[in-house]
C-alpha cells in the first residue's frame, strides 16, 4: 500500500481535534486523547513501511507534498461538514452537496469530453455508475449522520479504520507482503478505535 494514503490520512486526526476545541467548543476526554494518539501512531507506523533510505531530502519532500495537501483538505472539509450538519439534516446536506458539485462540474465535463462521450459512458456503464453512486452517497451520508450526533474530534480519527481495511485487502487481495510494521500499525489503529469508542 502506497505511503501517500496513510500520510494523507494521518494529518486530519491530529489537526481536527485541536481546531474543533476552538471552533465548536468540543471537550475531549483524556481517554479520547489516548485513543486518537494510538490511531495517529498506528497510521504513521503503517506509513513507515515504505522505504525512505534510498531517498534524499528533496525526493522525500516531493513525495510528501501532495499527501500533506490532501490531509489539510480533509481537515478543512471535515470541519465544514460538521458545521453544515448542525444546520441541515445529514442526507439532505449530502444531496445538496452532490447537486452543487453536479451543477459546477457538468459544464467543464461537457466542454472537456462532449455530450457524446457522456451518453456513451452511460450506455456501457450505467449499472456501475448507479451502484457506485448509491454506495458513495450512502457511505458519506452515514459519516455525516455520525458527525451530527457526535464530536468531529472523535469521528475523523475513527474514519481511519479504512487504513486497516487497506492493509487487510493489500495482504489478501493484492498479495502484498504483510510486514511486521504494517500489522503492528493496523493493530494500534484498531486499539485506538476501541479506546475512542469507550471515551465519554
| pLDDT tens per residue, range 60-93 | 667 677 778 888 898 999 999 999 999 999 999 9
Percent of the chain with pLDDT over 90: 42
d(CA 196, CA 64): 28
Q: Is the pLDDT of residue 120 over 80?
A: yes
User: For residue range 131-174, what is the model confidence (pLDDT) as tens digits?
Assistant: 999 999 999 999 999 999 989 999 988 888 888 887 888 778 87
Is 74 within 8 Å of 6 (Cβ atoms)?
Answer: no
Q: Is the pLDDT of residue 183 over 50?
A: yes
Q: What is the 3-state secondary structure (H, E, C) of the chain?
A: CCCHHHHHHHHHHHHHHHHHHHHCCCCCCHHHHHHHHHHHHHHHHHHCCCCCCCCCHHHHHHHHHHHHHHHHHHHHHHHHHHHHHCCCCHHHHHHHHHHHHHHHHHHHHHHHHCHHHHHHHHHHHHHHHHHHHHHHHHHHHHHHHHHHHCCHHHHHHHCCHHHHHHHHHHHHCCCCCCCHHHHHHHHHHHHHHHHHHHCC
- List C-alpha distances in Å: 39 to 20, 22, 58, 138, 190: 18, 22, 28, 25, 7
Is 55 within 8 Å of 63 (Cβ atoms)?
Answer: yes
Q: What does the pLDDT read at residue 67?
A: 77
Q: What does the pLDDT read at residue 1?
A: 45
Is 78 within 8 Å of 12 (Cβ atoms)?
Answer: yes
Q: What does the pLDDT read at residue 55?
A: 58
Q: How far apart are the first and last CA of the chain?
A: 33
Q: What does the pLDDT read at residue 83?
A: 92
> Of residues 73 and 51, which shows the higher confidence score?
73
Name the average pLDDT for the chain.
85
Q: Which structural domain range is residue 102 located in? A: 4-198
Is 162 within 8 Å of 9 (Cβ atoms)?
Answer: yes
Q: Is the pLDDT of residue 56 over 70?
A: no
Percent of the chain with pLDDT over 70: 88
Cell of 110: 461537457
Domain count, the chain: 1
Q: Of 165, 193, 154, 188, which Cα lies nearest the Cα of 43?
A: 188
> Of residues 58 and 152, which shows the higher confidence score?
152
Q: What does the pLDDT read at residue 5?
A: 57
Tell me which of 1-5, 57-61, 179-183, 189-193 is least confident: 1-5
Amino acid at each position: 500500500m502506497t505511503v501517500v494514503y496513510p500520510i494523507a490520512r494521518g494529518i486530519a486526526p491530529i489537526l481536527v481535534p485541536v481546531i474543533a476545541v476552538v471552533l465548536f467548543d468540543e471537550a475531549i476526554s483524556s481517554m479520547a486523547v489516548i485513543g486518537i494518539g494510538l490511531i495517529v501512531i498506528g497510521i504513521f507506523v503503517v506509513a513507515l513501511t515504505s522505504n525512505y533510505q534510498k531517498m534524499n531530502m528533496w525526493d522525500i519532500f516531493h513525495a510528501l507534498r501532495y499527501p500533506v495537501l490532501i490531509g489539510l483538505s480533509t481537515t478543512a472539509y471535515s470541519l465544514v461538514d460538521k458545521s453544515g450538519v448542525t444546520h441541515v439534516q445529514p442526507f439532505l446536506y449530502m444531496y445538496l452537496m452532490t447537486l452543487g458539485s453536479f451543477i459546477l462540474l457538468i459544464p467543464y465535463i461537457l466542454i472537456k469530453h462532449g455530450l457524446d462521450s457522456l451518453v456513451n459512458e452511460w450506455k456501457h456503464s450505467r449499472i456501475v455508475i448507479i451502484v457506485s453512486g448509491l454506495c458513495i452517497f450512502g457511505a458519506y451520508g452515514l459519516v455525516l449522520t455520525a458527525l451530527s450526533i457526535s464530536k468531529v474530534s472523535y469521528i475523523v480519527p475513527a474514519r481511519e479504520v479504512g487504513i486497516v481495511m487497506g492493509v487487510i485487502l493489500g495482504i489478501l487481495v493484492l498479495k502484498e507482503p504483510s510486514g511486521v510494521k504494517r500489522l503492528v500499525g493496523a493493530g494500534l489503529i484498531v486499539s485506538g478505535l476501541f479506546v475512542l469508542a469507550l471515551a465519554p
